[in-house]
Structure 1
Amino acid sequence: MEDMMTLLDRWIANADDPEVQRQLQELRAGDETAVRDAFYQDLAFGTGGLRGIVGAGPNRMNVYTVAKATQGLADYLNANFAEPSVAIARDSRHKGREFVEVAAGVLAANGIRAFLYPRIEPTPALSFAVRNLGCSAGICMTASHNPAPYNGYKAYGPDGCQITTQAARDIQAAINAVDVFDDVRAMPFSEAVEAGMASYIGEDTLDRFIDAVAEQSVAPAVAAGDTGAVGADDVKVVYTPLNGTGLECVTRILERTGVSDVTLVEEQCEPDGDFPTCPYPNPEIREALERGLALCEEVRPDLLLATDPDADRVGIAALHDGEYRLISGNEMGVLLLDYLCRARAARGEDLADKVAVTTIVSTALVDALAADHGIQLRRVLTGFKYIGEQIGLLEAAGTPERFIFGFEESYGYLAGTHVRDKDAVVASMLICQMARDYKARGVDLVEALEDLYRRYGYHRNATISLEYPGAAGAEKMAAIMARLEAEPPAAIAGLDVLRTVNYREGVTMPMTGSAGPVDAPDAPQTLPAADVFEMQLAGGSKLIVRPSGTEPKIKAYLFAACPTAEEADELLARLDAAARELLA
């Protein structure tokens, strides 16, 4: 604690930002627990960049931690690129503009040009800009779906994908070599603009992003720019951007593809980093959708769409038997993959060489579906960057068109290769087109999902998240994982544990469908080592446990596979209780 107080005093002596200084003075006069949480470590620069509570100290998001991270990134870029440049975007969270301008000033002082979106834009628009502008890297200031006190710093490589594991290590090493007060080179943002080292991204880049999204339509006339798609106006939608970035791009693509009957949740339209109607703006949870669901009861749409603050994920509710049923990320993933396969086949495309990608924690239902359609399915670690890497491998082999769809259970989806991250803009378009297609046949999305369950078996999935905040929480999570690995249970929820998989040890990537010879692009791959532990149970069910990479939580993923819906629901409840006891 003495070392932390010394570090706090150094920050007080050097921080000239008035708000940070005020917060430091409050910490000095407060209790030791608050000081420890703010100073016990530096924010770790993982494969997703930085993410933390906005505040003072090295374990918080502030202008100094952003500047230090950017100096490390600049050192890495100057060491690896001849004339590096960086695209930058932000969402609606607090301090986003300040963080963007600080980052641009640091890059400019290091001889690196920065291209900034002039207003808030979705994360996928940033991924697109990196590729479209030929940048060496990208930065998006966002904390995705975290609670309002958070902000973050996502880093992207030149391929528009979140940085690779090795790049993250190299950048972290460069950051570690930077003293937060002595080693950061910076200039005021206004000087960077005047010197031509920082400039705003033009509207033409965003237009090209919308064009690229429209090209992923499975309706040929829409892809060609025809706004009068047959039957498009039959789909009625309520949409909420949850006070984030989705409003501009989602409404543009819906209008362009003929979805004209869109009602907005007015109190959630304007950007607001406080997220006053849902402090935890996560479309995975019902609380974030309550305003939208209430509006649905008034206007009676076919669908509710809700995008998270940086508009890379989308949640929905579908009208069924007079009520609105929430559809999970796993369920929407299999619905969209099935729809895209059928639509592509109807256009005469051969599915035999197509590749879909999902994660090790996504539903097992997709394996049977992929086999039925005759496509290859690859499973990667949690994190959409790993899906993006698989697209990169296909591109390197000269066959990017093989990629048909990628999804993760946490409501992230991607069709097309225009970006290398999950994209709620393209997902919103495809969900509406799928709903229109089913509606024309007298079927809603819940009925379409039930048909998939009847064909491939009833799979129920759930995720448990237990919070362990602060330094003590990190120690507890590490202890839980160590105990599971050392002494895994013999049975869970009355089902024998048949096999355990420790992803720390490097595991061959699960893949269904055809695989080529060892020297072919489809050769078996080894997944990077990860802090994930899987327990495979009798009957095809399983339990996977991992600490979150972006929040102070440990997560348990539950998989119940049964012949009937009733049995699957009952088993899922048993797995829930058993998992909570196991992680207590």
Structure 2
Amino acid sequence: MSDKSIESMLQEWRDNVEGETLQCGFAPQFAELEELSSELASMARNLEAGDASHVTNAFFKDLEFGTAGLRGVIGAGTNRMNVYTVARATQGLADYLNAHFENPSVAIARDSRHKGELFVDVAASVLAANGIRALIYPRVEPTPALSFAVRDLGCSAGINMTASHNPAAYNGYKVYGPDGCQITSEAASEISERIARLAYFEGEGAPCAKTVDFQQASFDGTISWIGEDTIARFIDAVLAQSQEEPGDSEAPLSVLYTPLCGTGLECVSQTLERIGIPYVNVVPGQDLPNGDFPTCEYPNPEERDALEPGIDACRAAKAAGRPHDLLLATDPDADRVGVACEDGDDYTLITGNEMGILLMDFIARKKAARGESLSRSVAVTTIVSSAMADSIAAEYGFELRRVLTGFKYIGEVIGRLEAAGEADRFMFGFEESYGYLAGTHVRDKDAVVASMLICQMARYWRAQGKTLVDAMRDLYAAYGWWLNRTVSIAYPGADGDARMKDIMARLRTEAPAKIAGRAVAGVVDYAHDKTGLPSANVVEFRLEGDCKVIVRPSGTEPKIKLYLFAKDESRDGAEALLDALEAAGRKLLN
């Protein structure tokens, strides 16, 4: 971060944007300049009136670049997503790629968020100016399609303009390595260092982003479009993970689907059609890409509010005598998927942990029924995902590996298996935050393949007179009520980051002896203990009675997450334990 005052940075941005002394000759669209100028002027007026909150939050730091790239509120300032922060980050990435690759190329995609197309143009222009070929998806596409394209097209990296399930005010900039995984910590650190050497504007005593005219670069081939054949190969790779036998697809299944105004409709509907679901009903008002996400504040398939329009449509269809077997919802970049099923008089949302367990059991069950040995198979999940996964692995005899939070770590396991000539061993991976993957066609969570498998699984259990909710209850009856809950506590503003750091430091130096009346049997500090995993800012409290509390700051948002784990012989008992753990955890983070 610069040692300039916030007031001087505000004035510098006003001078450059309003005076159109633009970054290294890059000229944003005129409307974009007007928006930035208007916002900067508003900050100045508020500052003169004694309200410094807006300008402080916009300028108190540079938007941080990490393994998840950039993510932030769209707007003017160093701590915001705008054409200048995107160009600066892309120049840092370009410097990294030119230092490590000969003739590098980058695949670029975007979701439905505001400014996505503009940010793609900016990134491509900067890459082209640095002699790096940019290959762009011509329309919105899912995150897994970007991960697939990186490997399919032999690119050195990938960029996806997405803020996943954040509110409409956000956008992001996610970077992938040549393996299709999100970049490693080492790569992110080097790119971040290169970004820090760069200025936002010319004349600041440091280099800034190089740019070329987008149209000219597209004429000379430095910028080009990713063809329809790439998406076709992606869908073929998804279909290769089908778990159904000939004849299974003839069983009827009625699906109501919502892409939550994001990118999933094209790939999900094509995939479901090809597994024998010829007509996918789509939730009205949530079908087309729309960066405003008008039907829900948080386009997150974990949240019931986001699924309420779909649940209402399910109720209406049932009243009309045309009930749906399940409601599928993918998030805006279609890497995560949530499900609601009719359950008596209501509709129950299946949690991310529950769906991970259901899919793991389903795939293992189908493989075993085909006579396949699972002794070499490997499933992967995270340290914050359901402990029931260990019981499923023991039942079927496959290996279960646990990694840090973040699907890139699951992707890295696949990469190591592939390097050893054992990619066929990978069976399934999941994380509690609604991310799933079967197959090695991508190295990130994939809501397209997950949607296909969920529908096949629903068809399988429907043939036995059960819903997915019924199937999950059967698993609880067999293995015990292993329940989980994730609680997020926000720490917004300029002081939020410092508060989060203080809390994590205190937990390490003043670990509690008891949490919710249960003795702390052990503490694992993933930043310092020898766990065999990369260092991470995570602290785990292992409690008596198979309970756990894990504390982890988010890598992309100003919040700390509490992961709560409870086990009991009954649902009521496990829920009561979770309530007690949540109350104690909130107090711990106060």
Q: The TM-score by the shorter chain falls in which range?
A: over 0.9
The equivalences for 1:215-254 within 5 A come to: 215-221=240-246, 229-254=247-272
Given candidates 398, 413, 437, the residue that maps to 2:460 is: 437
Query: Residues 43 and 59 of structure 1 are in contact (CA less than 8 Å); yes or no, is this contact kept in structure 2?
Result: yes
Q: Distance in 1 between matches of 2:333 and 2:251?
A: 27
Given candidates 120, 129, 132, the residue that maps to 2:140 is: 120
Given candidates 125, 135, 139, the residue that maps to 1:105 is: 125
Does 1:383 pair with 2:406?
yes
DSSP 3-state at the match of 2:555: coil
Give 1:387 shift.
Answer: 0.6
Given candidates 136, 146, 162, the residue that maps to 2:182 is: 162
- Give the counterpart letter for 1:51 in structure 2: R
- Give the counterpart letter for 2:238 in structure 1: V
Alignment-derived partner of residue 38 in structure 2? 22
Query: Residues 361 and 557 of structure 1 are in contact (CA less than 8 Å); yes or no, is this contact kept in structure 2?
Result: yes
Q: Distance in 2 between matches of 1:109 and 1:274?
A: 32
Alignment-derived partner of residue 25 in structure 2? none
1:376-402 alpha-carbon deviations (Å, 9 max, x no partner): 111111110111011101011110010
Give 1:565 shift.
Answer: 1.8
Given candidates 206, 214, 225, the residue that maps to 1:200 is: 225
- Give the counterpart letter for 1:211 in structure 2: D
Give 1:435 shift.
Answer: 0.5
Give 1:489 shift.
Answer: 1.1
Q: Distance in 1 between matches of 2:248 and 2:576?
A: 43
Q: Distance in 2 between matches of 1:165 and 1:377?
A: 24
Tell which deviates more after alignment, 254-263 or 37-46.
254-263
The equivalences for 1:482-497 within 5 A come to: 482-497=505-520
The equivalences for 1:382-461 within 5 A come to: 382-461=405-484
Q: 1:500 to 1:232 in 2, by over 3 A?
A: farther
Q: Distance in 2 between matches of 1:328 and 1:171?
A: 35
Q: Distance in 2 between matches of 1:442 and 1:147?
A: 39
Alignment-derived partner of residue 589 in structure 2? 583
Alignment-derived partner of residue 13 in structure 2? 11
Query: Residues 379 and 426 of structure 2 are in contact (CA less than 8 Å); yes or no, is this contact kept in structure 1?
Result: yes
Alignment-derived partner of residue 530 in structure 1? 536
Query: Residues 519 and 544 of structure 2 are in contact (CA less than 8 Å); yes or no, is this contact kept in structure 1?
Result: yes
- Give the counterpart letter for 1:72 in structure 2: G
Given candidates 182, 185, 209, the residue that maps to 1:184 is: 209
The equivalences for 1:276-355 within 5 A come to: 276-299=294-317, 300-355=323-378
Please, what is the CA RMSD of the aligned residues?
1.2
Given candidates 563, 567, 581, the residue that maps to 1:561 is: 567
- Give the counterpart letter for 1:197 in structure 2: T
Query: Residues 260 and 329 of structure 2 are in contact (CA less than 8 Å); yes or no, is this contact kept in structure 1?
Result: yes
DSSP 3-state at the match of 1:357: strand
- Structure 1 runs (4+) deviating above 6 angstroms are none
- Give the counterpart letter for 1:466 in structure 2: I
Percent identity over the alignment is: 60
Structure 1 alignment gaps of length 5 or more: 222-228, 509-525
Q: Distance in 1 between matches of 2:66 and 2:431?
A: 19
DSSP 3-state at the match of 2:285: helix
Q: Distance in 1 between matches of 2:551 and 2:250?
A: 42
Query: Residues 430 and 436 of structure 2 are in contact (CA less than 8 Å); yes or no, is this contact kept in structure 1?
Result: yes
Q: Distance in 2 between matches of 1:457 and 1:155?
A: 40
Query: Residues 232 and 257 of structure 1 are in contact (CA less than 8 Å); yes or no, is this contact kept in structure 2?
Result: no
1:103-154 alpha-carbon deviations (Å, 9 max, x no partner): 0000000000000000000000000000000000000000000011000000
Q: 1:72 to 1:563 in 2, by over 3 A?
A: same
1:285-306 alpha-carbon deviations (Å, 9 max, x no partner): 1111000110010122110000
Tell which deviates more after alignment, 573-582 or 353-362.
573-582
Structure 2 alignment gaps of length 5 or more: 21-32, 203-207, 318-322
The equivalences for 1:42-61 within 5 A come to: 42-61=62-81
